[in-house]
């Protein structure tokens, strides 16, 4: 699990997970309890370090061993309220860069070693591509104390840390190991319409085990990719885990002769302004919009399942459920704004479905509008 550590005057003040590259989780409190993470450096350095938390494994050989859910184990321990001392001790730290550290990689490695990090043990100078391949094979087939998915090749010089961004750097390239694959049979195909109208095909599989994980579905990313592959129930596919985490379709191994007919949504029918009302074929996009709105308004406890249930219930029951989920306050605060926005969205769908505006919406709308008006 990638992390960023910040030290001020040699004292650990913040640890943040990578997250989506721009926003991560604050792991400071938990990281301070990890024996592998120094709370104070030997020198009063101001440093921002990039590293990885890993799960310690005994006599691990990547080429013939499973990852044993190493990444998820680290994430699980970091998310626990009271992890055991044994689990905390089983998490190691590998610091792989110091963005604003010494200018040359030799100086950075020397200083990191003096600060107590073992970066130099796994960083070696290369003369040519053959040397890189030799080290890659050595670590792929040799004993290590942690799981890996490849090696990283980097230039000895790189820009200042102020120029770094969340995107892939130009001075570093990852050389991944060949991913493990598993054969799976397609159970069915689902086409999901997102809030913007994008259609994402999901390939449902008869469950398989891969790298210690249970895999039952794979996303194809786009309707065009499904059309190119023409997958149907009964086909057999090879699946691997990208980055040891994300299930991906590697290839189509075999296709059945009998091609099951599918109801495929028309791409031209869905776009940013489609499905503003609950009409046939629009429930998925409308639910996606409501789910997104709930996330933007930080409406905890209301997710996709809630909206699905609301849109398939009677008007009075739907609004009663919504009323119980949202703490309704007749003040000028945000809850009133939330309710009015949601009532307006539900009005579009329920009015279209039942032919009239539900009385419960009328009463809530009037009550909220009248009581929240400044006196």
pLDDT tens-digit map of 1-10: 889 999 999 9
CA atoms of 257 and 212, how far apart (whole Å): 32
**pLDDT digit string, tens, across residues 174-199:** 888 877 788 999 999 999 999 899 99
**Is 206:187 a contact under the CB 8 Å cutoff?**
yes
Report the chain's mean pLDDT, rounded to a whole number.
79
Do residues 239 and 182 make contact, with C-beta atoms less than 8 angstroms apart? Answer: yes
User: Looking at the whole model, is its pTM more than 0.85?
Assistant: no
Query: 214: how many CB neighbours lie within 10 A of its CB?
Result: 8
Distance of alpha carbon 98 from the chain centroid = 25
β-bridge partners, 209: 214
Q: What is the pLDDT of residue 339?
A: 52
Comparing CA positions, the residue from 349, 347, 352, 341 lying closest to residue 362 is: 347
CATH fold of 181-254 reads OB fold (Dihydrolipoamide Acetyltransferase, E2P) (2.40.50)
For the domain with range 2-176, which CATH number is right: 3.40.50.11890, 3.90.180.10, 3.30.470.30, 3.30.110.40?
3.30.470.30
For residues 73 and 258, what is the distance between their CA atoms, to the nearest angstrom? 42
Rounded to the nearest 10 degrees, how much is the dihedral formed by the CA atoms of 115, 118, 124, 125?
A: 0
DSSP string for 314-346: -HHHHHHHHHHHS----SSSHHHHHHHHHHHHH
∠ CA 273-278-281, rounded to 5° = 80
DSSP 8-state symbol, 121 = G
**What are the pLDDT digits (tens) for 127-158?**
888 999 999 999 889 888 888 888 888 887 77
Q: Domains of the chain: which residue ranges?
A: 2-176, 181-254, 275-372
Cα–chain center distance at 103: 33
Is 181-254 in the same CATH topology as 2-176? no
Beta strands in 91-235 (DSSP E): 91-97, 143-144, 150-154, 172-176, 181-193, 199-210, 213-219
pLDDT band at 70 (very low <50, low <70, confident <90, very high): confident
SS3 call for 351:
helix
Instruction: Please identify which residue in the block is written with the tokens 């060949």.
Output: 178
Compute φ and ψ for 319, nearest 5 degrees: -70, -30
From its phi and psi, is residue 355 left (phi > 0), alpha (psi between -120 and 50) or beta?
Answer: left
């Amino acid at each position: 699990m990638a992390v960023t550590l910040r030290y001020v005057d040699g004292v650990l003040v913040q640890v943040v997970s990578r997250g989506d590259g721009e926003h991560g989780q604050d792991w400071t409190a938990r990281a301070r309890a990890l024996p592998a993470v120094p709370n104070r450096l030997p020198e009063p350095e101001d440093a921002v370090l990039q590293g990885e938390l890993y799960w310690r494994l005994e006599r691990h050989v990547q080429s013939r061993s499973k990852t044993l859910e190493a990444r998820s184990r680290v994430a699980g321990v970091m998310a626990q309220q009271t992890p055991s001392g044994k689990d905390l001790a089983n998490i190691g730290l590998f610091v792989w860069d110091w963005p604003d550290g010494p200018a040359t990689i030799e100086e950075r490695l020397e200083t990191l070693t003096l600060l107590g990090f073992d970066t130099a043990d796994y960083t070696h100078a290369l003369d040519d591509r053959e040397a890189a391949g030799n080290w890659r094979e050595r670590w792929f087939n040799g004993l290590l104390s942690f799981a890996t998915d490849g090696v990283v090749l980097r230039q000895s010089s790189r820009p200042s840390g102020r120029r770094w961004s969340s995107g892939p750097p130009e001075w570093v390239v990852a050389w991944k190991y060949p991913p493990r694959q598993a054969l799976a049979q397609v159970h069915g195909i689902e086409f999901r319409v997102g809030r913007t109208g994008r259609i994402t095909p999901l390939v449902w599989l008869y469950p398989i085990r891969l790298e210690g994980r249970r895999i039952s579905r794979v996303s194809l990313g786009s309707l065009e990719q499904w059309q190119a592959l023409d997958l149907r129930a009964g086909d057999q596919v090879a699946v691997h885990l990208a980055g040891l985490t994300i299930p991906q379709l590697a290839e189509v191994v075999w296709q059945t002769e009998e091609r099951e007919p599918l109801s495929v949504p028309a791409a031209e029918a869905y776009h940013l302004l489609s499905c503003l009302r609950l009409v046939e074929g629009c429930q998925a996009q409308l639910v996606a919009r409501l789910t997104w709105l709930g996330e933007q308004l930080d409406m905890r406890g209301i997710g996709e399942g809630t909206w699905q249930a609301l849109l398939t219930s009677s008007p009075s029951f739907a609004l009663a459920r919504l009323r119980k989920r949202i703490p309704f306050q007749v003040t000028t605060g945000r809850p009133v704004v939330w309710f009015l926005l949601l009532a307006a969205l539900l009005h579009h769908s329920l009015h279209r479905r039942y032919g009239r505006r539900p009385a419960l919406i009328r009463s809530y709308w009037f009550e909220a509008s009248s009581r929240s008006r400044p006196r």
